[in-house]
């Protein structure tokens, strides 16, 4: 994957005067050291005052200004002792980024009965005041710094913050109009802006063709060589070079208009303009971390970006149809599409041919089975002013050979899943990824109030338990 993900964490340790200043300072230093060990990209407030902690009202404005100047994407408030709940709330409210609360687990009281930190009690107070300020937040249960839970839980929060960052201000390149018969991919662009700050930038198919004509021979040669190395070529050389030009043109348009993904009218008007299906070009871009989805499915492109962000670019997703049930497995299902899935996911080197569903009339599709294993399946969708995120687990299974790009999967209860999709607000498209992103997405939704979770094989309470380390 060529695309890189970055996230800057603002770390604001806090204390209260009535508890041990020395112990708070010690723990703040230990926390920052642990974050360095975990290779977290963060800024702290060491320079704000002589302690590097939030405890004095007069420091609030300086801390807020610093965090905004540093353009932090999320906030971490370690309660190095009881902490100062009103100041935490003021900073969090002013900065307006995802918040994580945590405090180190207290040791036993001293011999004289004194307690050094009371971090847990302070966290109870902070949670209440954040609610008063209507600041959404996550909570990492108290633990020691060397507890594996600390590293896992912090990583999950950072991935959730990455999803929030990705969604806010996202722009999707729409190439062509939706296929006339595909009412299912209609979207409300106004609501996407109002609810999620997601925008759509449309370009026409003639604009795409014009961009293809501007791609130089050297650039085409490089992409064509990649295809020869990663695919069995079963089309004329002219189709290889046209596909390379198409891939480059779509990437140029995405870069020009600040788009992180695209949704293309892959049939049937496109074939009249360029004589190709775009599946292989889509596959190449998907492998580079720039998802391109089929049939002008804007919600599908949003789903792909959300899922990819949840892995922080460690895994590339694939855009699929829920297609047909497995012939012998009552909970088995075929995920398939004409041929746009990343070649890097294939069990074997895929074949560059033509899509079977269109009588092989035009070249441009990949054919091959992707690897199985454990997966997450996700769909962002909505209608009538309500938006949900359908998600659950799946695992790859054996099944009959198919055309296009495909994988057979098994879910916990296919009948339940089938009913959820039909009853909506979902369509026949979904996004799969070889990672368990459900805990990440569950946490991310804390900070996306207009998007609700909808699980097909678990429930919110169970995911809350996962985040608690239970």
Q: What is the average pLDDT score of the chain?
A: 95
What count of other Cβ atoms lies within 10 Å of the Cβ of residue 304? 29
Confidence grade of residue 97 (pLDDT, cut at 50, 70, 90): very high
Separation between Cα atoms, residue 79 and residue 101, nearest integer Å: 8
Distance, CA of 240 to CA of 360 (rounded, Å): 16
φ, ψ dihedrals at 363, nearest 5° = -75, 170
Is the model's pTM score more than 0.75? yes
Q: Over 60: is that where the pLDDT of 304 sits?
A: yes
Banded model confidence at residue 273, pLDDT cuts 50, 70, 90: confident
pLDDT of residue 117 exceeding 70, the answer is no
Tens digit of each residue's pLDDT (9 = 90 or more) over 330-377: 999 999 999 999 999 999 999 999 988 777 789 999 999 999 999 999
The DSSP H or E segment spanning 95 is: helix 85-95
Q: Grade residue 20 by pLDDT with cuts at 50, 70 and 90.
A: confident
Listed residue (85, 81, 164) closest to 131, CA to CA: 85
- Counting beta carbons within 10 angstroms of the beta carbon of residue 181, is it exposed (0 to 12), middle (13 to 18) or buried (19 or more)? exposed
In our burial notation (b when 16+ CB lie closer than 10 A, e otherwise), range 9-48 reads bbbbbbbbeebbbebbbebbebbbebbeeeebebbbbeeb
Q: Which residues contact 22 (CB under 8 A, 6 or more apart)?
A: none
Strands 292-293 and 318-325: unpaired
Integer angstrom CA distances of residue 419 from 185, 217, 319, 379, 457: 19, 50, 21, 15, 13
Which residues lie below 8 Å from residue 28, measured CB to CB, with a gap of 6+? 13, 51, 52, 53, 78, 80
Q: What is the CA radius of gyration of the chain?
A: 25
Q: What percent of the chain has pLDDT over 90?
A: 89
Query: Which two tokens mark 76?
Result: 């971490």
Q: Three-state SS for 112?
A: coil
Q: What is the pLDDT of residues 160-177, one digit of tens each?
A: 999 999 999 999 999 999
Does residue 115 register a pLDDT over 80?
A: no
Return the sign of the alpha-carbon dihedral for residues 218, 224, 228, 234. Answer: negative
pLDDT exceeds 60 at position 111 = no
Q: What is the mean pLDDT of residues 300-317?
A: 98
Q: In the numeric block, which tokens belong to residue 358? A: 């269109």
Residue 12 tokens read as 């604001």
Q: What is the pLDDT of residues 433-447, one digit of tens each?
A: 999 999 999 999 999
Domains of the chain in start order, with CATH, are 9-146 (3.40.50.10940), 171-467 (3.40.275.10)
Whether the CB-CB separation of 394 and 376 falls below 8 Å is answered with: yes
Q: In the block, which residue shows the tokens 């995405």?
A: 254
Spatial contact of 397 and 328, defined as CB atoms under 8 Å apart: no
H-assigned helices in 133-204? 148-167, 189-196
Task: Encode pLDDT of 207-259 as tens digits.
Answer: 999 999 999 999 999 999 999 999 999 999 999 999 999 999 999 999 999 99
């Amino acid at each position: 994957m060529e695309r890189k993900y970055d996230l800057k964490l603002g770390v604001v340790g806090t204390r209260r005067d009535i508890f041990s200043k020395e112990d708070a300072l010690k723990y703040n230093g230990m926390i920052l050291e642990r974050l360095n060990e975990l290779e977290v990209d963060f800024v702290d407030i060491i320079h704000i005052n002589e302690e590097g902690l939030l405890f004095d009202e007069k420091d609030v404005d300086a801390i807020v200004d610093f965090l905004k100047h540093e353009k932090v994407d999320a906030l971490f408030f370690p309660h190095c002792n009881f902490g100062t709940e009103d100041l935490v709330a003021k900073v969090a409210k002013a900065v307006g980024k995802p918040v994580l609360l945590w405090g180190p687990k207290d040791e036993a009281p001293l011999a004289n009965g004194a307690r050094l930190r009371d971090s847990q009690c302070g966290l109870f107070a902070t949670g209440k005041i954040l609610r008063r300020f209507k600041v959404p937040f996550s909570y990492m249960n108290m633990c020691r710094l060397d507890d594996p839970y600390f590293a896992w839980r912090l990583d999950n929060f950072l991935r959730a913050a990455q999803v929030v960052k990705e969604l806010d201000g996202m722009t999707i390149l729409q190439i062509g109009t939706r296929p006339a018969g595909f009412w299912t991919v209609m979207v409300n662009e106004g609501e996407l802006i109002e609810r999620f700050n997601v925008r759509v930038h449309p370009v026409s198919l003639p604009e795409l063709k014009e961009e293809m004509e501007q791609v130089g021979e050297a650039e085409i040669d490089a992409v064509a060589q990649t295809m020869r190395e990663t695919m069995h070529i079963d089309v004329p050389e002219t189709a290889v070079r046209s596909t390379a030009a198409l891939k480059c043109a779509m990437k140029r348009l995405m870069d020009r208009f600040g788009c992180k993904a695209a949704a293309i009218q892959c049939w049937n008007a496109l074939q009249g303009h360029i004589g190709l299906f775009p599946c292989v070009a889509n596959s190449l871009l998907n492998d580079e971390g720039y998802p391109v989805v089929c049939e002008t499915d804007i919600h599908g492109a949003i789903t792909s970006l959300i899922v990819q962000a949840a892995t922080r670019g460690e895994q590339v997703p694939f855009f699929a149809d829920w297609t047909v049930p497995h012939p012998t497995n009552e909970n088995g299902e075929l995920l398939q599409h004409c041929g746009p899935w990343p070649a890097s996911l294939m069990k074997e080197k895929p074949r560059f041919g033509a899509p079977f569903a269109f009588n092989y009339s035009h070249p441009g599709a990949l054919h091959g089975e992707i690897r199985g294993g454990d997966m997450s399946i996700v769909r962002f969708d909505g209608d009538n002013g309500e938006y949900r995120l359908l998600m659950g687990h799946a695992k790859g299974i054996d099944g009959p050979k198919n055309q296009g790009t495909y994988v057979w999967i098994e879910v916990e209860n296919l009948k339940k899943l089938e009913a959820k999709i039909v009853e909506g607000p979902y369509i026949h498209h979904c996004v799969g990824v070889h990672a368990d992103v459900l805990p990440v997405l569950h946490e991310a939704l804390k900070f996306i109030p207009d998007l609700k979770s909808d699980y097909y094989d678990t429930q919110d309470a169970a995911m809350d338990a996962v985040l608690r380390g239970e």
